[in-house]
Amino acid sequence: MSHGNNTRRVIVAIDGPAGAGKSTIARRLAARLGFTYIDTGAMYRAVGLWALRQSLDVRDMHHMEQLARAAAIELLPDSKIRLNSEDVTDAIRTPEVSDAASKVSVIAAVRRELVEKQRALAETTSVVMEGRDIGTVVFPQADVKIFLDADPRERARRRHLEKPKEGSVEQVAREMQERDQRDRTRAEAPLTQAPDAVYIDSTGLTLDEVEEAILKVIRARVSNGKEFRG
């Protein structure tokens, strides 16, 4: 899609539980459309990583809010993530950081700080943004809202294939169930489907099929008959 003066910015919000394929699909869509991909989960992971490195209690609301406010987080076009000018792309993907990020994300003040950063990133360009509360809290006015889901067993299987070092499928399934419970029951911005979001179950679909299903929604809601790049 063109980003000329006559073309308004477009926001595509993809929400859903862990292991549904949000990150992979969001990256593919952003590349296909020429939009900017914003990995909100990476931002919480960056705060979690910083907290672990500082040996701070990730449940300490005051310190976590301070870290979230002070963190200089850069999401680069090549999917690299920088925290305070350091490349932390690999460092934020460990099980320990994943757990810390999930706990940090339930702190209301942290979410408010990072939401402001996320909104700022979308002020200058069209974006594809994925997370847990994009269509409900971060961008309730998003042009397109998708809730991407999959069978819990399938989500655990995918995560295990992606990161076998995190344990057996059964162990991954238990950890994901615990994370789902935290995400769905937290007081601040719980994981839930926005009323105007399109629900897509990716359980029996290939990545190409999921991508095409979402592109169909985008074309219907945004393009007004015009073709997207790609």
The 3-state secondary structure of 179-207, one letter per residue: HHHHHHHCCCCCCCCCCCCEEEECCCCCH
Of 124, 152, 167, the one marking the end of a domain is 124
SS3 82: strand
CA distance linking residue 136 with residue 223, whole number of Å: 23
- Please indicate, yes or no, whether residues 109 and 189 belong to a single structural domain of this protein: no
Whether residues 80 and 21 share a domain: the answer is no
- The per-residue pLDDT for 63 is 97
- Asked if pLDDT for residue 106 goes beyond 90, the answer is no
Instruction: Tell me the DSSP string of 115-151.
Output: HHHHHHHTSSS-EEEEESSIIIII-TT-SEEEEEE--
Whole-number Å distance between alpha carbons of 219 and 198 = 13
Q: Report whether pLDDT(170) > 70.
A: yes
End-to-end CA distance of the chain: 9
Same domain, 81 and 181: no
Question: What's the rounded Cα separation, in Å, for the pair 152 and 159?
Answer: 11
- Count, residues in the chain: 230
The pLDDT value given to residue 224: 56
* pLDDT band at 7; cut points 50, 70, 90: low
Domain end (from 101, 124, 147): 124
Tell me what percent of the residues of the chain surpass a pLDDT of 90: 56
Asked whether residue 227 is domain-assigned, the answer is no
DSSP 12: E
- pTM for the whole thing? 0.76
Q: Look at strands 73-75 and 81-83 and give their pairing.
A: antiparallel
As a whole number, the mean pLDDT across the chain is 88
Output the pLDDT for position 2.
42
For the segment 135-144, the average pLDDT, to the nearest whole number, is 94
Instruction: Give yes or no: residues 143 and 69 share one domain.
Output: no
Cβ atoms of residues 64 and 108 within 8 Å? no
Confidence at 62, pLDDT banded by 50, 70, 90: very high
131 and 119 belong to one structural domain: no
pLDDT at 229 over 60: no
Interval 179-193 mean pLDDT: 80
In the three-class reduction of DSSP (H, G, I as helix; E, B as strand; rest coil), residue 7 is classed as coil
Residues 105 and 118 in one domain: yes
* Structural domain for 16, as ranges: 8-35+126-221
Tally DSSP H helices, then E strands, for the chain.
Answer: 8, 8
Task: Count the Cβ atoms, other than its own, within 10 Å of residue 22.
Answer: 27
| Residue percentage of the chain with pLDDT more than 70 | 93
Give domain status of residue 67, yes or no: yes
Indicate which CATH number applies to the domain containing 107. 3.40.50.300
**Sheet strands side by side (includes 73-75):** 73-75, 81-83, 86-87
Q: Which residue has the tokens 């809290």?
A: 137
Mean pLDDT of 118-127: 87
Residue 214 within any structural domain of the chain: yes
Q: What is the pLDDT of residue 104?
A: 95
Q: Are 22 and 162 in contact (CB under 8 A)?
A: no
Q: Which residues contact 156 (CB under 8 A, 6 or more apart)?
A: 19, 169, 170, 172, 173, 176
pLDDT at 110 over 90: yes
Would residue 177 count as lying in a domain?
A: yes
Kindly report which listed range (28-37, 48-57, 184-193) carries the lowest average pLDDT score: 184-193
Query: Quick check: 147 pLDDT over 50?
Result: yes
pLDDT the model gives residue 90: 95
pLDDT at 225: 45
Asked if residue 132 and residue 21 are part of one domain, the reply reads yes
pLDDT score for 174: 85
- Into how many domains does the chain fold? 2
Higher confidence at residue 140 or residue 164?
140
Last residue of a domain, one of 124, 144, 174: 124
Does residue 141 have a pLDDT over 80?
yes
Give the span between the Cα atoms of 230 and 220, in whole angstroms: 16
Report whether pLDDT(187) > 90: no
